[in-house]
């Protein structure tokens, strides 16, 4: 349970070692670069590395693109869980080899991209040809080229007329409009549902009149003309398509043959990415004629590593504590159990300046409350086993993912624990199966009690756990006050509240209201009752007097105090909020028994058993999923709203070290520092 | 007369289920529209927006719970139907009302909140944890209604 202490390290070294130092720092990955030198400083200038950085970014992007294309041409099947596998680990030797071959690989990258472009061009051509064939199809039976010029005295008119035009109609239109023609010969080449394709032969001198006459009936010249006999033209085009298709196959084969380079290209892309990052940092560091300065935050426990690194070069190393007015970045460190909950804390906000890291305490409550909400032994076992298997199977999965699975592994165990206490194993599956299929009902008895039989008891316990959770939160606030030596705050904001709330609780427990809820009567000895009253009065009076102590005006101070006392209602609603522990636990159990009941409706027969198995698997998967979601959301809520509301604000900035930010693989560090 | 008692009781179970189910259907529908909008821009957010869309779905389940508990209480699920007097029947009906009505209204409101939270995910996907809290706030009241309905139904003696 700790926020790692940060120190500022500044290294001033000679420019000739600049590259080496930066690379080592990047490989180390423990320093967040943060400069405090003003831009206006005359002795130091910043280097403009924008161009270099951009060219590396571009190179990385095109290598990425090439890798994507390879995946398209030669797909490698990825299972659904592949995204959990995380980055590969490669030897430094292998990485060096790739860097040595970078020109060659660069050529492979551009070759892949060129090939892909060619393929796209070929495809476009094929599309064009296919369209041409389509528009030529109606003219296929025409035995002359479409631009046939006719004989010495005759000419040909090709055109499209509306659908349903018959040969007689063409002739009658012509007879009507051009009565004194020297002779016309019309042919219908083909007809489809939209148009009729006609060829009309007429005397050369009458072409204009004939065309005019036909136009009156909707005649129009074809939009595209080929200078070949249509059937021949189509044959040619088909041949060309086949050729281009062959070419595409060839291109595809070529690309696939480059697939051997895929891993190397991944590493190349990573290499360029890392270099781009390095140049981005290089652009930030102040440099003088011969020297440069690099400064930033390093967690205290990693400082010796940086020192050791720096000792290899001629340089000045300066270590100082983070100043009061600086806001250092936050890096959390927790043990194996609690680190799982770091993700949950980060979702709310990392500890701000002067706040403690509540992760380990929160993790305990998180697991406890989560298990109570899901509260089914079988579900818990499933969750735990699934998370455990995934954690073992994918040891290199991403950090955030790993933490989440760790957390849910423990949550699953807690669910198992609560399930055994409450006697839930797939709801009442044992009872239903034994009753319907085996004839006599057996059941596993709840170790503690079954919530369905005695909901009020669980309600009381839910609120009790709530009170413990909230009091812990208040206690943490007290701890922070004491640590910062704010004794007055500790007394007024923490001790008085404890007094008031404990007093109220002691007064509530022997009352009739509590007895009717808990169905048991608790009688305290009289002096305890008096003590409760006294505590409540001391607390209430103290809060009224002291809460507004920052205000000089006495009237205002009392008013503020009275307003703060009103927060008792906030405490009440916070405690009532824990009734969701009961409600969500019931939800799991009741829905599970609905599923079992539905499954058993087929009765004791072969069909009934099949129905039961099907309903059982799907139904419980559904119930598990929906209740996992519910438990997750509401456990978060209890932590974020009720628990954190008592002491924690968050708002810290995440530690973001200068490191090798790779996408595909991590390089195994050979030179351990 | 005693036949009418069981009618009231069944009406209670039906009310709990159909009102809260309708609320969830409305809510999930509203959130689903927003989720589809986000998906059309950025399909990689599928899992996150799906979780958000599911949040208003719980009211329907709460209604189902009360309906189921009521049905098994009056013996409609296997076994003999209990002899329910009119008074008991009306008591059960009254006990079913909280989850029905609150489920309807909170389901719809939670849907709207979830839609807004999906908007957060569209712009700031890293704020998923906090975005999820807003719809969960609405759900609190459905949970309280579930509790009261459940406690009331299980307290009624038949």
Residues of chain A whose beta carbon is less than 8 angstroms from a beta carbon of chain B are: 344, 346-348, 452, 455-456, 459, 576-577, 579-580, 582-584, 586-587, 590-591, 593-594, 597, 626, 629-630, 633-634, 636-637, 640-641
Rg (CA), chain A: 41
Residues 6+ apart with CB under 8 A from A131: none
CA distance A351 to A5: 12
Residue A322 tokens read as: 């983070």
Q: Is the model's pTM score more than 0.90?
A: no
Return the CATH number at B102.
1.20.120.610
Residue B119 tokens read as: 């908007």
Residues 6+ apart with CB under 8 A from A513: none
Residues 6+ apart with CB under 8 A from B138: B106, B109, B110, B113
Q: How far apart are the first and last CA of chain B?
A: 16
- Which of B66, B126, B136 is the best residue to mutate to test the A interface, defined by the most A CB atoms within 10 Å of its own CB? B136
| DSSP structural state of residue A194 | S
pLDDT at B2: 60
CA distance A492 to A546: 6
Which residues of chain B does A630 touch, with a Cβ-Cβ cutoff of 8 Å? 58
pLDDT at A39: 63
Using alpha carbons, list the distances in angstroms from residue A369 to A87, A364, A379. Answer: 34, 9, 15
CA distance A469 to A448: 22
Domain chopping of chain A, boundaries: 148-224
Using alpha carbons, list the distances in angstroms from residue A52 to A130, A162, A277. Answer: 46, 65, 11
| DSSP structural state of residue A506 | H
- Cβ atoms of A389 and A555 closer than 8 Å: no
**Closest C-alpha to A214, from A166, A164, A163, A159:** A159
Q: Does the domain made of A148-224 have the CATH classification 3.10.20.90?
A: no
Instruction: Give the nearest partner residue to A579 out of B61, B132, B147, using CB atoms.
Output: B147
How many independent structural domains does chain B possess? 1
- Cβ atoms of B134 and B113 closer than 8 Å: yes
Residue A182 tokens read as: 């020297």
Residues 6+ apart with CB under 8 A from B154: A452, A455, B69, B73
Quote the domain boundaries for residue B117: 2-155
Residue A3 tokens read as: 């926020």
* DSSP state letters, A336-396: TTGGGGHHHHHHH-B--TT----HHHHHHHHHHHHHHHH--HHHHHHHHHHHHHHHHH-TT
What does the angle CA A230 – CA A235 – CA A237 come to, to the nearest 5 degrees? 95
Residues of chain B whose beta carbon is less than 8 angstroms from a beta carbon of chain A are: 51, 54-55, 57-58, 61-62, 64-65, 68-69, 77, 128-130, 132-133, 136-137, 139-140, 143-144, 146-147, 150-151, 154
Instruction: Give the nearest partner residue to A630 out of B58, B137, B144, using CB atoms.
Output: B58
Q: Strand pairing of A286-287 and A6-14? A: unpaired
Using alpha carbons, list the distances in angstroms from residue B24 to A222, A525, A543, A588, B133. Answer: 60, 50, 44, 18, 18
- Which of B49, B56, B63, B132 is the best residue to mutate to test the A interface, defined by the most A CB atoms within 10 Å of its own CB? B132
**Closest C-alpha to B65, from A633, A459, A600, A597:** A597
For A113, list phi and psi in degrees, rounded to 5: -70, -40
- Cβ atoms of A363 and A407 closer than 8 Å: yes
Which residues of chain A does B140 touch, with a Cβ-Cβ cutoff of 8 Å? 577, 580, 637
- Cβ atoms of A502 and A480 closer than 8 Å: no
CA distance A192 to A160: 11
* DSSP state letters, B99-135: HHHHHHHHHHHHHHHHHHHHHHHHH-GGGHHHHHHHH
- Which of A362, A629, A642 is the best residue to mutate to test the B interface, defined by the most B CB atoms within 10 Å of its own CB? A629
- Cβ atoms of A493 and A477 closer than 8 Å: yes
With b for 16 or more beta-carbon neighbours within 10 A and e for fewer, the A428-451 pattern comes to bbbbbbebbeeeeeeeeebeeebb
- Cβ atoms of A458 and A582 closer than 8 Å: yes
Taking chain A (673 residues) in runs of 10, the rounded mean pLDDT of each run is 84 88 88 76 80 91 91 83 80 86 90 93 94 88 84 86 86 83 83 88 85 86 83 91 94 90 89 91 85 90 89 87 85 90 90 89 95 95 96 88 94 96 93 89 88 88 95 95 92 93 91 80 87 93 88 88 89 91 92 91 89 95 94 93 91 88 77 40
| DSSP structural state of residue A639 | I
Mark the ranges of chain B whose per-residue pLDDT is less than 70.
Answer: 1-2, 78-79
- Environment class of residue A535 by beta-carbon count within 10 Å: exposed (0-12), middle (13-18) or buried (19+)? buried
pLDDT at A671: 45
């Amino acid at each position: 349970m700790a926020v790692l202490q940060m120190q500022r390290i500044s290294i001033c070294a000679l420019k000739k070692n600049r590259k080496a130092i930066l690379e080592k720092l990047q490989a180390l990955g423990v320093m967040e670069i943060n400069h405090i030198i003003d831009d206006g400083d005359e002795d130091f200038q910043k280097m403009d590395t924008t161009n270099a950085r951009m060219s590396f970014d571009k190179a990385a992007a095109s290598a990425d693109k090439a890798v994507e294309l390879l995946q398209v041409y030669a797909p490698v099947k990825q299972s659904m869980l592949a995204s959990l596998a995380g980055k590969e680990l490669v030897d430094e030797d292998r990485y060096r080899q790739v860097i040595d071959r970078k020109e060659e690989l660069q050529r492979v990258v551009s070759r892949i991209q060129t090939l892909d472009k060619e393929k796209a061009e070929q495809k476009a051509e094929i599309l064009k040809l296919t369209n041409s064939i389509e528009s030529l199809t109606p003219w296929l039976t025409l035995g002359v080229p479409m631009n046939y010029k006719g004989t010495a005295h005759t000419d040909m008119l090709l055109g499209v007329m509306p659908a349903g035009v018959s040969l007689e109609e063409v002739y009658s239109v012509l007879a009507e409009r051009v009565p004194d023609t020297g002779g016309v010969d019309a042919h219908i080449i083909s007809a489809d549902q939209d148009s009729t394709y006609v060829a009309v032969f007429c005397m050369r001198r009458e072409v204009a009149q004939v065309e005019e006459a036909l136009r009156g009936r909707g005649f129009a010249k074809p939009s595209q003309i080929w200078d070949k006999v249509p059937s021949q033209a189509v044959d040619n085009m088909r041949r060309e398509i086949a050729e281009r298709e062959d070419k595409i196959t060839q291109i595809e084969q070529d690309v696939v043959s480059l697939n051997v380079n895929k891993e190397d290209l991944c590493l190349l892309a990573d290499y360029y990415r890392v270099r781009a990052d390095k140049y981005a940092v290089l652009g930030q560091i102040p440099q003088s004629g011969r020297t440069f300065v690099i400064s930033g935050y390093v967690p205290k426990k990693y400082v010796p590593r940086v020192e050791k690194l720096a000792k290899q070069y001629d340089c000045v190393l300066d270590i100082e504590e983070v100043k009061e007015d600086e806001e250092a970045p936050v890096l959390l460190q927790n043990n194996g159990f609690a680190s799982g909950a770091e993700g949950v804390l980060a979702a709310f906000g990392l500890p701000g300046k002067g706040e403690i890291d509540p992760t380990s305490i929160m993790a305990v409550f998180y697991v406890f409350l989560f298990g109570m909400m899901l509260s089914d032994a079988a579900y818990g076992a499933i969750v735990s086993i699934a998370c455990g298997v995934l954690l073992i199977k994918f040891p290199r999965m991403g950090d955030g993912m790993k933490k989440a699975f760790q957390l849910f592994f423990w949550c699953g165990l807690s669910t198992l624990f609560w399930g055994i206490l409450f006697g839930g194993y797939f709801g009442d599956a044992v009872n239903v199966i034994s009753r319907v299929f085996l004839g006599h009902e057996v059941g596993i008895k709840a170790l503690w009690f079954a919530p369905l039989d005695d909901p009020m008891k669980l309600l009381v316990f839910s609120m009790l756990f709530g009170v413990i959770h909230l009091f812990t939160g208040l206690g943490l606030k007290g701890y922070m006050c004491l640590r910062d030596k704010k004794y007055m705050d500790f007394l007024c904001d923490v001790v008085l509240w404890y007094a008031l709330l404990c007093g109220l609780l002691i007064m509530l427990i022997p009352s009739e209201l509590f007895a009717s809820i808990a169905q048991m009567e608790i009688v305290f000895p009289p002096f305890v009752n008096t003590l409760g009253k006294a505590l409540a009065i001391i607390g209430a009076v103290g809060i009224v007097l002291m809460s507004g102590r920052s205000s000089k005006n006495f009237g205002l101070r009392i008013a503020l105090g009275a307003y703060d006392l009103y927060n008792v209602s906030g405490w009440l609603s916070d405690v009532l909020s824990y009734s969701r522990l009961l409600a969500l636990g019931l939800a799991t159990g009741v829905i599970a028994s609905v599923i079992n009941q539905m499954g058993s409706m087929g009765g004791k027969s072969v069909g009934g058993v099949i129905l039961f198995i099907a309903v059982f698997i799907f139904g419980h998967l559904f119930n598990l999923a929906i209740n996992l979601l519910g438990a997750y959301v509401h456990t978060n809520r209890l932590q974020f709203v009720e628990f954190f509301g008592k002491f924690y604000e968050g708002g810290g900035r995440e530690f973001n070290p200068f490191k090798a930010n790779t996408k595909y693989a991590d390089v195994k560090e050979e030179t351990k520092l | 007369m005693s036949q009418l008692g069981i009618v009231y009781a069944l009406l209670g179970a039906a009310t709990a289920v159909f009102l809260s189910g309708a609320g969830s259907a409305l809510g999930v529908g509203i959130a689903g529209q927003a989720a589809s909008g986000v998906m059309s821009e950025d399909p990689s957010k599928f899992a996150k927006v799906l979780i958000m869309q599911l949040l208003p779905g719980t009211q329907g389940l709460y209604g189902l719970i009360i309906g189921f508990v009521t049905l098994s209480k009056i013996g409609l699920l296997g076994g003999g139907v209990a002899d329910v007097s009119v008074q008991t029947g009306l008591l059960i009906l009254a006990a079913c009302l909280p989850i029905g009505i609150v489920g309807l209204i909170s389901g719809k409101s939670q849907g709207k909140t979830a839609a807004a939270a999906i908007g957060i995910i569209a712009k700031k996907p890293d704020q998923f944890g906090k975005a999820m809290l807003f719809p969960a706030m609405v759900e609190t009241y459905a949970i309280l209604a579930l509790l009261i309905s459940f406690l009331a139904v299980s307290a009624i003696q038949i």
